[in-house]
Amino acid sequence: MADLSAFPVARRWPAVHPERLQLYSVPTPNGVKASIMLEEIGLPYEPHRLPFGPEGTRAPEFLALNPNGKIPAILDPDGPGGKPLALFESGAILVYLADKTGKLLPTGAARYETLEWVFFQAAGIGPMFGQLGFFHKFAGREYEDKRPLQRYVEETRRLLGVLESRLSDSDWIMGDYSIADVATLGWVRAIVAFYEAGDLVEWHEFPRVQRWLDLGLARPAVQRGLTIPE
């Protein structure tokens, strides 16, 4: 039986199956990266849904795992050398799980090209799409000054254009389905399905992105991952 007692997060949210990888998350566009990946690779895991704020993501037990107070995060009882590993940052989690299982991350030069698209998502798509959502759907929509909203609309359109070009001769970002797609699907889906900003960004101008999104959302593992943790 794996012993996770040294980790405060495991004391606050006890594991029913401590021998399995523990996932601490919420099914947001960022959180589902980890759950989709875990569903795709078939690695046994136990999900824990954390509330936002002092009772969850800002609780000291979670901050001991992730000092940035963001989801997702994992605790793998069978980490490198057979020792437990706690890990945060969704991109790092995707790379770790791909390396652990040998799935969804090619080798050689293609590995680094895949990673550049994962970083493209983490540095561009996630932050910019999230800001668009804030200024279009959430508290920012009340601001009289619409220049911030327009800035993020324009940047979102630019990033979608980069994806549109990348997908001109392939169904997937890297030709074959990979962690680059896993990292990006939830965020692109959010533009239309969650932020309701399709008209704002003129979604109809990105038919290849729509095709890619449809193919991704048709995958059973993606469908499951989008709802985990329940």
DSSP string computed for 106-141: --THHHHHHHHHHHHIIIIIHHHHHHHHHHHTSGGG
pLDDT-above-90 percentage for the chain: 98
Confidence of residue 1 (pLDDT cuts 50, 70, 90): low
Tens digit of each residue's pLDDT (9 = 90 or more) over 116-127: 999 999 999 999
Q: How far apart are CA 212 and CA 171, in angstroms?
A: 6
Segment 41-47 shows an average pLDDT of 98
Taking a C-beta distance cutoff of 8 angstroms, is the pair 35, 11 a contact? no
Please give the model's pTM, rounded to 2 decimal places.
Answer: 0.96
Token duo for residue 188: 């692109």
Q: Given this model, what pLDDT does residue 2 score? A: 79
C-alpha 80/C-alpha 76 separation (Å) is: 9
Instruction: State yes or no: pLDDT of 177 exceeds 70.
Output: yes
- How sure is the predictor about 59, in pLDDT bands with cuts at 50, 70 and 90? very high
What span, in angstroms and rounded, lies between the C-alpha atoms of 80 and 26?
A: 26
Least Cα distance to 171 among 218, 125, 130 occurs for: 218
CATH architecture of 8-101: 3-Layer(aba) Sandwich (3.40)
Q: pLDDT, tens digit, for every residue of 104-143? A: 999 999 999 999 999 999 999 999 999 999 999 999 999 9
The pLDDT mean for the chain works out to 97
- Domain ranges in the chain? 8-101, 109-225
Distance CA 30, CA 16 (A): 25
Give residues with Cβ within 8 angstroms of 21, minimum separation 6: 38, 43, 44, 45, 46, 74, 75, 76, 77, 78
**Overall CATH class of domain 109-225:** mainly alpha
Average the pLDDT over 204-216 and give the result.
98
Position 3 pLDDT exceeds 90? no
**Residue 160 pLDDT grade (very low, low, confident, very high; cuts 50, 70, 90):** very high
